[in-house]
Amino acid sequence: MLLWSTGFVGAKYGLPDAEPFTFLAVRLAIAAVLLAAAAVVVRTRISREQAGRAAISGILLHATYLGGVFWAISRGTPAGVSAVVVSLQPVLVAALALPLLGERLRRLQWLGLALGVTGVVLVVAPHLGGALPVAGIVACVVALAGGTGGTLWQKRHGDGIPLLWGTAVQYATATGCLAVASALTEQQRVMWSARFVGALVWLVLVLSIGAVLLLLVLLRRGSASGVSSLLYLVPPATAIEAYLLFGERLAAVGWVGIAVTALGVALVVRPPRATAALPELTLS
């Protein structure tokens, strides 16, 4: 969660020096090469079927989700607003996990999801004033759909795929999609300033390799709804980081929202209480 939250900070640093699709294509291409090299070194292999499943995850999780968020921010959509829209992902994942994955939530977990939404809204509500670009909101909704679909697909079809090769294929596929979008809609301009290079290095190593590999490991070990609920903590964490790095102040209601969000996540990921088995009564 802490690593993932820095993605908005990295975007704010890097987007002034590069267009969104170009920025992401460069970032994911570098990450794909690094992970493929690591996979060769450790001598793992991936089958054609596994590569196909990984490619679909890449289109949804990276090209669609990241592309939508970065494009929205580059068009003037506040990062807080983008975070609110995509933070609805846990609710969609939880609603779809039952029919698609057979995951059933307890009442306490549904309460946690509701608290998560409430807390996120409280965090970003003070920043929602002013006109919002319609195209940016639409891009955030597209990103939300991609992230939700990618999480469910990865949970259902990602088991057994070698982690390094699978993620490298995801990034390579997403790079191809983003490169096409960049060629069709952008001038592919990049200013290789120290700020941009620093943001690029951070996003490649910490986000695309560190945070994403952790996400895929969590999806293998936990439920899709439980893992997605952790994303509720990303907007509050981003708000704190923005305050520390950029001086963006968090209103008092925002701190209340952080506490409410943390409580909601705790309710979602809390394991069910084991009930003590009653001794059997026998008649002799």
| Cα of 279 vs its chain's centroid, Å | 46
d(CA 115, CA 117) in angstroms, rounded, equals: 5
pLDDT at 280: 43
What confidence score (pLDDT) does residue 228 get?
67
Q: What is the pLDDT of residue 278?
A: 42
Distance (Å) of CA 251 to CA 83, 115, 117, 191, 241: 17, 19, 18, 35, 14
Residue 67 CA, distance from chain mean position:
12
pLDDT of residue 283: 39
Contact 189, 3 (CB under 8 A): no
User: Whose structure tokens read 């002034």?
Assistant: 16
Cβ distance 128 to 277 under 8 Å?
A: no
Phi-psi region of 76 (alpha: psi -120 to 50; beta: other; left: phi over 0): left
Cα angle at 83 between 78 and 139, to 5 degrees?
Answer: 70
Alpha carbons 275 and 122: distance in angstroms, whole number: 36
User: What is the mean pLDDT, run by run of 10 residues, along the chain of 284 residues?
Assistant: 80 88 96 94 92 95 92 80 73 71 73 80 67 80 90 83 92 96 94 93 91 80 70 72 71 76 71 50 37
DSSP reduced 3-state for 271: coil
